[in-house]
Amino acid sequence: MTNPYAPPRASVRDVADPSALTAPADRATRLGAAILDGIILMAMVYTPLILVAIVGGAAARATGETGPNAILLVGGVVTLVGFTVWCWLTIRYMRRNGQSIAKKIVGIKVIRTDGSPASLGRVFWLRNVVNGLISIVPLYGLVDALFIFQDSRRCLHDKIADTIVVKA
């Protein structure tokens, strides 16, 4: 005879296993990853452009050429190639494991609050685009960043996207 007061024994498949969640990422690690992402973007996109401009400018002065057309074309192509490679790497890592290039380097990743993987669309649209649009409001960026000091270590953009950054 079964006990009518016993808890249900049904298997629930739509809820992630809470033991799969790891600890939230440290505040300093998240800050370091954000700074490192900016440095990587700058190195892959802007540094080649600056080098082309410097070398092209020096070559133009040496030859006496006054038109910057070739320099601008080469600089534009180099910048476009660097930006394309940066986008490809970022999308690849984000789709694979919820990590940007720097998050992969420092060992943290973005997941949903229920422990499931965060989709590329959720990360792109909610964490970046919507957050970017809201940042038109003065001081929003500061308020967003200060939310990291809550016990949950979730910024406003994390709350908007229903995500959390955890150790990978």
Q: How confident is the model at residue 138 (pLDDT cuts 50, 70, 90)?
A: very high
The range of the structural domain enclosing residue 84 comes to: 23-167
Query: CA nearest 157: which of 166, 137, 135, 168?
Result: 135
Say whether pTM exceeds 0.95: no
> How many domains is the chain built from?
1
Residue 111 lies in a domain: yes
Residue 14 lies in a domain: no
Residue 17 lies in a domain: no
Mean pLDDT of 97-114: 94
CA angle 151, 152, 155 (to 5 degrees): 110
Give tens-digit pLDDT for 5-17.
Answer: 888 787 766 655 5
Cα separation, 31 vs 80, in Å, equals 27
| CB-neighbour burial class of residue 89 (10 A; exposed 0-12, middle 13-18, buried 19+) | middle
Cβ contact 127:156 at 8 Å: no
Residue 10 lies in a domain: no
